[in-house]
Amino acid sequence: MAMSFTTLLLLVLIGLCAGLLSGFVGVGGGIIIVPALMWLLGFTQHQATGTSLAVLLLPVGILAVVNYYRAGHIDLKAAAIISLAFVLGGWFGSKASLALPADVVRKVFGVVMIIAALKLIFGK
């Protein structure tokens, strides 16, 4: 599949922004990659979600993890437990998402982002 220079540039910028935000506050995949793929490159909700998950499949955050580990800010036991549960949750979540129309998934995603934002802004 041929890719235009503009598309390549947008993908690189999306990756850089997601990586910067991930290293800075621990987020990036869903919050940056999914909306950016949809708005900038016309991906469907399912395509954007699947592509974001494919990015996370490899250890893309390894260098950021090394920095946090060296600074003593990683609980390896908690990370291992969350990782195992994440695998199971990811399987069930993907099954549920793919069984629903993309517009429903997009709306659920939007509501989750609003709730998270409000909690971060007004929570203690």
pLDDT bracket for residue 2 (50, 70, 90): confident
Domain of residue 87 covers: 5-122
**b/e for 17-48, b at 16 or more Cβ within 10 A?**
ebbebbeeeeebbbbbbbbbbbeeeebebbeb
Q: Tell me: the pLDDT tens digits for 37-53?
A: 999 999 998 999 888 88
Number of domains in the chain: 1
Instruction: Report helix angle 5-25 to 34-41, nearest 10.
Output: 160
What pLDDT is recorded for position 1?
65
Beta carbons of 108 and 115 less than 8 angstroms apart = no
In which band, very low, low, confident or very high, does the pLDDT at 21 lie, cut at 50, 70 and 90? confident
Residue range 72-81, pLDDT digits in tens? 999 989 989 9
